[in-house]
Chains A and B, each alone.
Chain A
Amino acid sequence: MQLQVNGDTLVFDGETIADLLTRLEISGRRLAVEVNGDIVPKGEHGTSRLHDGDTIEIVHAIGGG
Chain B
Amino acid sequence: MSDSQVSGAQGPDTFQVAGKTYQSRLLIGTGKYRDFDETRAAIEMSGAEIVTVAIRRTNIGQNAGEPNLLDFISPDQYTILPNTAGCYTAADAVRTCKLARELLDGHDLVKLEVLGDQKTLYPQMRETLIAAEQLVADGFKVMVYTNDDPIAAKTLEDMGCVAVMPLGSLIGSGLGILNPHNIRIIIEEANVPIIVDAGVGTASDAALAMELGCEGVLMNSAIAHAGQPVLMASAMKKAIEAGREAFLAGRMPRKAYASASSPLDGVSKV
Contact = CB atoms under 8 A, between A and B. Distances in A.
Interface of A: 5-8, 10, 24-26, 29-34, 39, 41-42, 57-65
A24 B70 CA distance: 19
A5 to B, nearest CB: 6
Interface of B: 29-33, 39, 52-58, 60-61, 64-65, 68-70, 80, 82-83, 85, 98-100, 102-105, 171-172, 218-221
Given A58-B58, A60-B58, A65-B83, 11 more contacts: A8-B60, A24-B60, A25-B64, A57-B57, A59-B99, A60-B55, A62-B56, A63-B54, A64-B85, A65-B85, A65-B221
Given A30-B103, A39-B99, A64 B68 contact: no
B102 A61 contact: no
Given A6-B60, A59-B57, A60-B58, A32 B30 contact: no
Given A24-B64, A41-B102, A63 B69 contact: yes
11 contacts: A31-B103, A32-B102, A32-B103, A42-B105, A58-B57, A59-B103, A60-B103, A61-B68, A63-B54, A64-B220, A65-B29
